[in-house]
Chains A and B, each alone.
Chain A
Amino acid sequence: MALAPASPHPPDTATATATRPGKVARRPKPSSEPPEGNRERAKGRDRLWVAAFLVPFLVLYMGFTLWPLIATVYYSFFDWSGSGPLDNFVGGDNYSRILGDPLFWQAVVNTLLFAVGTTLIKLPLSLLAALVMTRKWLRAKRALRTVFFAPLIIPVAMAGLVFTYLLNPSNGALNSALHGLGLTDGTTDVFANRWTALLALVLISVWQVFGQYMIYWMAALQNVPDELYEAAELDGASEWQKLTRITLPLIRPVAVVIVMLALVNAMHVFGLVVTLTGGGPGTSTYVVSYFIYKQAFGSMPFAYGYASAAALLFSVMAFLLVTSQGLFVRRAQKMRKEYGV
């Protein structure tokens, strides 16, 4: 289970495992561990190879993930426009300004609404789709899978532009469809109102990433052993019972990870906002990444320090949102132990 361990550990492994070299840190089940020999101690010339194999990842990881994380913290204490030396230390000034910036809070609220909204819609629907798509009896699976996966391959700006046209108030497809059905004869401009604009963002995002989550679920479903279903069948279990007693409990550990990926990916939302609403109407669909972009690169003078403070606050919030699931993860892992999957 490579996806699941991502979640649980930051808080609790830090203390525990450093002294047990043969044990894989991520796995709570000693019984199913491969024998010790699976992990060799590097010696002699192998050491050079080990180092050489690690270098490409380490260099990029340090340069583009670790250092930026540290630098974001550092910049956030300065009033810095990106050019010139970093010498205008302002302490917590950026933070107190951010905390009093209504636009930032609006962006936070929008980001959370968007993240929770898309997750609540796309996960159950894609699970349902995956359940149907993994039925043995279903015909044309490949074609259907491709259909649902297809929106993912449209660059996000294209999706944005297509939908601005389809939804445009004068002659877009939505309006002509509404007229055709006789539902309205006026013009419906979904991007004129904060709530409809947010809803449009959510739905279009669901449309776009649906296939990805469907495939996550399909992968999760593949890991449920067939024997369990066969046994249940012998006991006369109904489809519904099989779903609620076998499938759902067994995919729960993976489900937790999928939920987290979904939330975090949704919190990244940027391209759709830029292309569909540009944060509008007014500033009412600002999301945090757009706020950061606008502060840092949007208009002179650039406010890197201020944007960094916003970025850091955002990271902390994302982290809290994600790790608040740690509890569920631990429970799910306990379940996994019980079921032996």
Chain B
Amino acid sequence: MSRPELRTPRAPRLSRLSRPARANLIALPLLIVVGLVWVYPFLWIVAGAFKTQTGLFTGGASLMPDQWNFDNFRRAWVDAGFSRYFFNTILYAVVSTVIELFKSALCGYILARYEFPGRKLLHRMIIATLFVPVASIIIPQFVLVERLGLLNTQAGVILAMSGAAGALYVLLFIGFFSGIPSDLFDAAKLDGAGFLRTFRLVLPLAKPVIAVVVIFQFITNWNEFNIPLVFTLGQPDLQNLAVGMLSFKGEHSVDWTGFAAGMTLSVIPMLIVFVFFQSYFVRGLAGATKE
């Protein structure tokens, strides 16, 4: 592709030939440098997972571990409670994502396809509450969960997490299902498909939206801080990673290397989820936002 002798501004047609290559030559190094800065904290964590306390302390910005052992991982996983936080986080994220998906897909389908009294009102209320800050309604949520007797239980956290969100996802599903040509539904009806059969027929079409909801909600739940903090104030055993980490800060001597090891372990599953779903992700969002 490279024809250096012709690459002058005076030869537009020929320089266009090599333009992709040239653009890559400029953009890639730049992006790689920025990308390295971007992932530096990650690399620092991973390096720290192998360092000794003193190695970490004197290492400064260095990414080179002074040792290679796995004791940090054992300490983090077993002693510091990372395994517990980790499984809590997975439980909360998975269950509330499933609930979120279930309720918003069903509701979005109905709002897009069926006419019933109050449909427009409901639609408008969902939109109106899209932008309510979580912090401003957490007290009554807390009171509700307390009255249900679910405070300091896993069910309480999950309920609050999957109850508080959802407006955006319902809108995504409405957008998707109302974009499906009605011929498809007519054909299903002619074939004698009932309500449920029809739904089962069109649900798989919504895969891109489902992927978006799963990724969004999984990440949101994985990182959720406010709700688990407030709803497990009396029961540290039920904290997720986000909240459990906080206790590291309060203690006098912090096991930083164990902490780094724990983080390394707990970030891996999310990275896999993203790498696995990422092509769906952009496509799904684009599809869902398409008129």
Contacts and interface: CB of A to CB of B under 8 A. Distances in A.
Interface of A: 1-6, 9-10, 13-14, 17-18, 21, 24-27, 32, 34-35, 37-42, 45-47, 49-50, 53-54, 56-58, 60-61, 63-69, 71-72, 75, 82, 132, 135-140, 142, 144-166, 171-177, 180, 207, 210, 215-216, 218-220, 222-223, 254, 260, 264, 267-268, 270-271, 274-275, 288-289, 292-293, 296-297, 304, 307-308, 311-312, 314-315, 318-319, 322, 341
Contact of A25 (B124, B168, B181): B124
A17 B120 contact: yes
Interface string B247-291: 011000000100100010011001101110011011101101111
Given A138-B24, A153-B271, A39 B115 contact: yes
Nearest to B148: A63
A2 B282 contact: no
Contact of B113 (A39, A139, A288): A39
A53 B126 contact: no
Task: Report, nearest first, the 4 A-B pairs whose CB atoms are least far apart.
Answer: A2-B175, A64-B163, A176-B60, A289-B135
A161 B259 contact: yes
Contacts of B285: 215-216, 218-219
Nearest to B164: A64
Nearest to A2: B175
Contact of A297 (B110, B230, B274): B230
25 contacts: A10-B127, A41-B114, A46-B114, A54-B110, A57-B107, A58-B107, A61-B126, A64-B144, A65-B137, A140-B28, A144-B35, A150-B42, A153-B223, A153-B267, A155-B241, A157-B242, A157-B243, A207-B41, A215-B281, A270-B225, A274-B246, A289-B135, A308-B139, A311-B135, A318-B136
A168 B109 CA distance: 51
A307 B57 contact: no
B112 interface: yes
Contacts of B281: 215
A46 B199 CA distance: 12
A54 B143 contact: no
A67 B140 contact: yes
